[in-house]
Structure 1
C-alpha cells in the first residue's frame, strides 16, 4: 500500500475542470438533501408518535420526540456521504500511474473528511437524545454527565453511537493526509465497521428472529450508505469533469445495481420479521411508513434503470447535463427516503402474534427442538445470511471465472475447483446447518463449528487458489488505460500491509494467539452475549485460518517467499499450542461465558463444565485430519517443485548441449590427473 503524503502537495492529474466553485456546487445539493431529510423526519415524527403515552410514566418531551429522528436522518445522510466519497477515492476514480490519488480522488477524500466531521457531531448529539427517549427524561436532564455515564453503562445503543463518533472523528482527521487509494480503502473499511455497531440496536435487537434481523440490517445499512453515498460522490465527480468519467460511471453503475438489490431484499426481510399480519401494512403507522419507504425505493430503482439506459451512455460522448440533472433529483428522493427511514426506526412495531417466546428464543432469536443429535445437526438448518451467503456467492463467482477461462481456451486444474467448492460447502455447513443453529447455545457444538471455520474450510479455500484465478480471469488494463480490478489486486499483494500480515511470525501469532485471547479472557463471554459478537468471532476465525494456511500451503502468490522448512516449522510449531489449548479446556473447572449459557438454561446441558470439557476434547483431537491434509499438500508442492527444477535443468542442458555437466566432468578429470602427478598424494600399498 503506498505511503501517505502531506496534503499540501496536491496530486497532479485528472480534472479537466470547471471553476472551483462550479466543481464543488454539488455541496449545495448535499446541504439541500440534508435539510430535506432533517425536516421530513421531524414532520413525520410529529404526526406519527413513537409509542402510546401512558399517564403517570415519565415522558421525554416533544423536543426529543421530533429531534431524535431529525438528527438520526442527518446522521444517516452524513454516514452515506462519508462512505460514498471514500468509495470514490478508493475504487471509482482511477489513480495516477504512480499509485497516488489524482486530483479527483484527492478532492474525494477531503470531502469525506468534511462529511465524517458532520457524522461524528450527529453521533454525539444522538447520545443524549436516545438516552432521553429511552429513559423518559427531558433532554436537559439527559445531557448531564451523570446521566450520560449511567446510560453508556447500560444501553448498547449509546455505546454504538460513541463508537461511531470516535471512528468518524478519526476518519475526519486521517482523510486530510491520505494520498493513496489503499489508505482510502482502509478508512472505508473503518467506516463500514462503525456501521456494524448500529446493526444490533433498535428494532433489530428487540424483535423475534433477531439473528435474521441483525444480519439483514447489516446488509441494509451497508447497501444504503454505498448506494446513496456513491451517488453523491458520482455527482460530485461529474461536476468536476474528471477524466475517465465513463469508467467511473460504469463502476458506480455496477455497484449501485448490487446495492439496490441488497437494500430491497434486506428491507423486505427486515419488515417481514416485524409485521405480524399483512393488514398491518395499512392499518398501523409502522406499516404505512414501510409502504412509503417501499414506494420511494421502487421509484429510485426506476430512476436507476433510466440512468443505465439513457444518461450513462451519454457520458461516454461527453454529455453530462442529463446525468447531473437526474442524479440531483435522485439524491433529493434518497434524502426523503432517509427521512422516512429515520422515523420508521423510532416508530413502534405492530404487536406480535402467537404465544410468548421462550427464554431460548428471546436470547438466540429462535427455538431449539431438543438436544443435538447427528440427525438434527444434519437436518435442522437455519441459514446464516452473512457467511452462508458468502459461501454461495463465492462458489458462484469462482465457477463464473473458471467458465470464462475455458471459453477463451485456457485450462484450470479441476482439483483446485473441487477444493474451492468443498471449502464453500464446509463454510455453509459450519454456519447454516444444525451446527450453526446449536453453536450459539452449547459450547461443545460451538467448538465443532470453530474447528470447521478455523481449519477445515480455510485449508480447502486456500487450495482453490482464488487469487490466481482472479488474476487470470480479470482483464488487464491496456496501455494508457486506467488501472482496473486486476491491477488493484496486484497492488494489494505487493503492499506493505500484505507483507506484514503474511509474515510467518504474524500469522502464527494471529492464528494461535486468538485461541487464547478469545477463550481465556472475558472477551468470549462478551461476544457470546449478542448475535453480532458471535458473527464477528466466526469471521475472525475464518480470516485468521485462511491467512495461516495461505502462508503454509497457498497455491496463490504471496507477498513474501517462505522457504519449505519455515512452512513446516509453522505447521509443527502450532501442534503443542493446539494440544495445550484443548487440555486446558478439558481440565478447566470454571465454565466460560457462564452467564450466557445459564440464561439459556438448556435442560439437556446440566453440567456446563462437563460440556466445556467435551469441547476441549474436540479441540484437542480435531487437528489430526487438517494436519494430514496440509502435510499431503506440502509434500505434493515439494514434489512438484523438485520436478520443475529437474525439468528446468533438462531444458538448460538441451539448450547448451550439457555444457554444465561437461565442465564438471572436465574438472574431475583435471583433479584426477593432478593427484596422479603428485607422489605425496599417492597411497602406498
Structure 2
C-alpha cells in the first residue's frame, strides 16, 4: 500500500526528536579553545623571545589562549541567546495582541533561550576570574600555581591592564547571568542582550589594538569587529538550539537573523581591514607570523561569508519544509566559526610586525596621533581624522534615517521636513565634532575637551531628539501580524516601558544629566583617570550622548514617552535646573586645582599652553555654551506652553458654544436672576449647600 505525500511528511515529522544542544555548545567551545591553544603553543618560543619574558609553564602557555577562546564563545552564546529571546522569536501574547508586548512574558522557547544566555554569562564570569592569574602568569613568566595567591591577584588587578579588563568582565557577567535566570518578561530581554554586549567591551579595549600609534583607529575598529563577531556566532548557535528543540517559527527567526548576519559580516570585513591596515604592512601579510595568522583568519571569514550566502540561497527558502537541512549545515558553519575564533585569539599572543615609526612621540602614544598646530576657531575645521566609532555611527544614523524616510514615502505617508532637517543637522554635527580638529584636540587640552563635551551633551542630542527617530521607525514599518510583533511593535513597547517612565521623570532626568557633569569634573582623580585612557574617552563620549539625548527627549523631544508632562511643568523644571547647569561652569572658572595637569604636561604639545588659563577658558565655555541650547529649549517650551494654553481656550470656547459647560450655564442663570431682582447671596449659599 502506497503512502501519500502528507502521510510521509507526518511520519518524518514524528521521527524528529527534541535534542539537547549542550553537547554541541561544548563541541563549539572546545574547537575554538583547542585551535587557539595549539597555534599559540606552536608559536611559544617566538613570542617569548619577542616579549623578553621567561616561560611561565605549560599550564599558562596552553590554558591562557584556550580559556580566552572559551570566553569569547561563551560571550557569543550569551549575546545570541538573549537577542534570540528578544527579537528572533515572539513572546507569549494572549489573544495575539501586539499592543500588550510591553507586558508580555516569554514562551517556553524564549525561557530556554534566556536560561542559556544566563548560564553562558555566569560561565563567562568564572572564566574571567580564572584569566586574572593566567594573565599575570603570562606577562611575568611566573608559574600559574604561584599566581593563585591573594597577593598576586592584587598585583594583577592593580598593575596589569589585561587582568583589569577581565576583572571588569566578571563584574558585568555575573549580574547579567543572575538577572537572566530570574527575569522572564519580554521587556527585560533587550536589556540583558545589551548587558551581554557590555560584557565583551572591556576585552576590546586591551591588546595590540589599544597600544602604540593609531590606537584610536585600532581600538575602535577592534570593538566593532569583536562585538559583531559575537552577534554573528551567537545568533546562529541560538537558532541551532531552537531548531533542535523543535521550536516554532524557526523560519521567522532565521530570516531575521539573516539580516543581522549580513550587516555583521560587512562590519567585520570593514573593521578588520582597518585594523589590519594600521598594524601590518601589506608586505608583511605573507612574510611574518602575525601576517600569516591574519591571512588564515581572513580566509576563514571569506569561507563563512560564502556559507552565509548558501544559507540565503538554499536553506532559508526551504526552512519550513526541511528544517533539518538548515540545522546540519549550521552546525558545520559554527564549527568553522569556532575555528576562526581560535585563530583570531592567537593574534593577542603573537607580536605584530615592528611599527612603521619606531620612534613614536609621547603624544602619539597617548592620543594615537600627533598634533602640529594650535587649534583656532577656523583651523579646527580644516583638520580631519575620521572617528571610527562616532563618525561611523553618524554615517549609519544618517543612512538609516534616510532609508526609513524612503519607506515612509513609498507607503504614501507624510513626514515633517523639519524632523528630517533636525536629524541631519544632528548627525552632521556629531560627525564634525568627533572627526574634525575639535575631536582631535579634545584629549590635548581642557578647553577643547569642554567644547566637545558641550556639543555632544547639549547640541547633538537636542537636534537628534527633535528628529523623532522612533516615530519614523513606527511610520516606516507596519505592525506585525497578530502574535508576531516586529520593528513597529518593538519600538512602541519601548516607548511605553516602565523603566523609561522612571528615567524620564523630570526629577530623575534632571539629576542624571547633572550627575555626570558634576561627578566628572568635581572628582579630580576620576577626571585624570578618564582622560589618560582611550577607553575613558570613549566612555565619556557615550555618556555625554546618551545622557543628553535622554534629557532633551523628555524636555522637547518629538517621540512619544510613557508619561510626558505638560509643557508648563517641563518649563518649570528647566527653570529650576538652569542655575545648576550654569553654576558648574562658574565653579570650574574659579577652581584652584588644575584638572589633568600631569597628563597635559607630558603630552609635549608643540605650542605653549597655560593650563590654568586654559581651564578658566574651559569653564567659560561650559557656562556660555550651555546657555545657548538651554535658552533655545526654554523658548521652545515657552512657545509650546502658550500653544497648549491657546488650544485649551479654544476647546473651552467650543464647549461653551455647544452648551455643555454646566458652570458657565449656571453663571448665566444667576446673572439672569440678578437682572430680575432676585437675592444672589441667598441663591449662591443655597447652591453651595446643595453641592455639599
TM-score, with structure 1 as normaliser: 0.92
Out of 553, 556, 560, the position equivalent to 2:559 is: 556
Over 3 Å counting, the alpha-carbon distance change for 1:192 and 1:528 in structure 2 is same
With 553-562 and 626-635 compared, the bigger mean Cα shift is at 626-635
Partner of 1:8: none
Asked if residue 266 in structure 1 is aligned to residue 271 in structure 2, the reply is yes
Say whether residues 1:582 and 2:578 are aligned partners: no
> CA shift at 1:191, angstroms?
1.8
CA shift for structure 1 position 432: 1.2
Q: Which position in structure 2 is the counterpart of 1:216?
A: 221
Q: Is the 8 A contact 2:457 2:544 kept in 1?
A: yes
Counterpart residue number, 2:330: 327
Contact kept in structure 1, 2:659 and 2:665, CA below 8 Å: no
CA deviations on 1:150-187 (whole Å, 9 max, x unpaired) are 12111121011112123222233222212112212222
Moved more, 141-150 or 607-616: 141-150
Give the distance between the partners of 2:21 and 2:131, measured in 1 at CA: 27
Structure 1 equivalent of residue 237 of structure 2: 232
Task: Summarize the Cα distance change of 1:112–1:23 in structure 2 as closer, same or farther, 3 Å threshold.
Answer: farther
Cα shift at 1:661: 7.3
1:253 alignment partner in structure 2: 258
Query: Where does 1:629-668 land on structure 2 (aligned, <5 Å)?
Result: 629-642=632-645, 644-645=647-648, 658-660=658-660, 664=664, 667-668=667-668
Alignment of 1:447 onto 2:450: yes
What is the correspondence of 1:439-588 to structure 2 with a 5 Å cutoff? 439-478=442-481, 480-521=482-523, 522-588=525-591
Match in the other structure for 1:602: 605
Mapped to 1, the partners of 2:16 and 2:156 lie a distance apart of 44
Taking the aligned partners of 1:57 and 1:207, their CA distance within structure 2 comes to 20
CA–CA distance in structure 2, aligned partners of residues 333 and 662 of structure 1: 77
Task: Quote the offset at 1:497 in angstroms.
Answer: 0.5
Show the 5 A alignment for 1:331-480.
Answer: 331-478=334-481, 480=482
The correspondence for 1:169, drawn from 161, 167, 174, is: 174
**Residue 301 of structure 2: aligned partner:** 297
Q: Could you say if the C-alpha distance between residues 512 and 21 of structure 1 is closer, same or farther in structure 2, counting changes exceeding 3 Å? A: farther
Structure-2 separation of matches of 1:220 and 1:630: 38
Alpha-carbon distance between aligned partners in 2 of 1:650 and 1:305, rounded to the nearest angstrom: 65
Mapped to 2, the partners of 1:116 and 1:38 lie a distance apart of: 17
2:292 aligned with 1:288, yes or no? yes
Contact between 1:588 and 1:609, CA under 8 Å: does it hold in 2?
A: no
Aligned 8 A contact 1:91 1:181 in 2: no
Deviation at 1:459, TM superposition (A): 1.3
Q: Deviations over 1:72-92 (max 9, x none)?
A: 111111111111111111221
Q: Do the aligned residues in 2 keep the contact of 1:529 with 1:596 (CA within 8 Å)?
A: yes
- Cα distance, 1:647 vs. partner? 6.0
Deviation (angstroms), 1:600: 1.1
Q: Does residue 1:72 correspond to 2:74, yes or no?
A: no
- Taking the TM superposition and a 5 Å limit, the aligned residue runs for 1:128-167 are 128-167=133-172
Q: Residue 565 of structure 2: SS of its match in structure 1?
A: coil
Quick check: 2:60–2:143 contact (8 Å CA) kept in 1?
yes
Q: Following superposition of structure 1 onto structure 2, how do residues 6-85 of structure 1 map, counting pairs within 5 Å? A: 22-49=17-44, 51-53=47-49, 58-85=54-81
Contact 1:123 / 1:164 at 8 angstroms: preserved in 2? yes
SS at match of 1:313: coil
| Cα distance change of structure 1 residues 665 and 21 upon mapping to structure 2, 3 Å threshold | closer
Deviations 1:305-353 (A, max 9, x none): 11011101111x3320210111010010001001111112211101122
Matched, 1:197 2:193: no
Match of 1:87 among 83, 95, 104: 83
Match for residue 12 of structure 1? none
Instruction: Rate the CA distance shift 1:643–1:282 in 2: closer, same or farther, 3 A.
Output: same
Map Cα deviations across residues 459-501 of structure 1 (whole Å, 9 max, x no partner).
11111111222221111113x3411121111212222101111
The equivalent of 1:13 in structure 2 is none
Partner of 1:677: 677
- Contact map agreement 1:467 1:556 (CA 8 A) in 2: yes
Does 636-645 or 196-205 show the bigger shift? Answer: 636-645
- Paired residue for 2:317? 313
Contact 1:281-1:290 within 8 A present in 2 as well: yes
Structure 1 unaligned residues grouped into runs of 5+: 1-16
**Cα distance, 1:455 vs structure 2:** 0.9
Separation in structure 2 between the aligned mates of residue 211 and residue 614 of structure 1, nearest angstrom? 27
| 2:93–2:483 contact (8 Å) kept in structure 1 | no
Range 149-158 or range 289-298, more displaced:
149-158
- Partner of 2:47: helix, strand, or coil? coil
Contact 1:18 1:240 in 2 (8 A): no
Query: 1: distance between equivalents of 2:504 and 2:448?
Result: 30
CA contact (8 A) 2:131 2:166 kept: yes
Instruction: Report if the CA contact (8 A) 2:670-2:680 is conserved.
Output: no
The residue that corresponds to 2:8 in the other structure is none
Please state whether the residue corresponding to 2:106 is helix, strand or coil. coil
Residues 667 and 369 (structure 1), Cα distance of their counterparts in 2 relative to 1, 3 Å cut = same
| Greater Cα shift, 180-189 or 253-262 | 180-189
In the aligned structure 2, how far is the partner of 1:328 from the partner of 1:508?
Answer: 50
Q: Is there any run of 5+ residues in structure 2 with no aligned partner, and where?
A: 1-11, 95-103, 683-692
DSSP-derived class of the 1:601 partner: coil
TM-score, normalised to structure 2's length? 0.91
1:648: how far off? 5.1
Q: Which moved more, 1:625-634 or 1:217-226?
A: 625-634
CA RMSD of aligned residues (A): 2.4
Q: 1:245 to 1:649 in 2, by over 3 A?
A: farther
Q: Retained in 1: the 8 A contact 2:41–2:61?
A: yes
Q: Following the alignment from structure 1 to structure 2, what is the Cα–Cα distance between the partners of residues 360 and 680?
A: 86
What secondary structure, in the 3-state scheme, does the structure 2 residue paired with 1:23 have? coil
Change (3 A) 1:223 1:660: same
CA positional deviation for 1:409: 2.1
Contact 2:121 2:196 in 1 (8 A): no
Tell me the distance in 2 between the aligned counterparts of 1:623 and 1:531.
26
1:631 offset after TM fit, Å?
A: 2.9
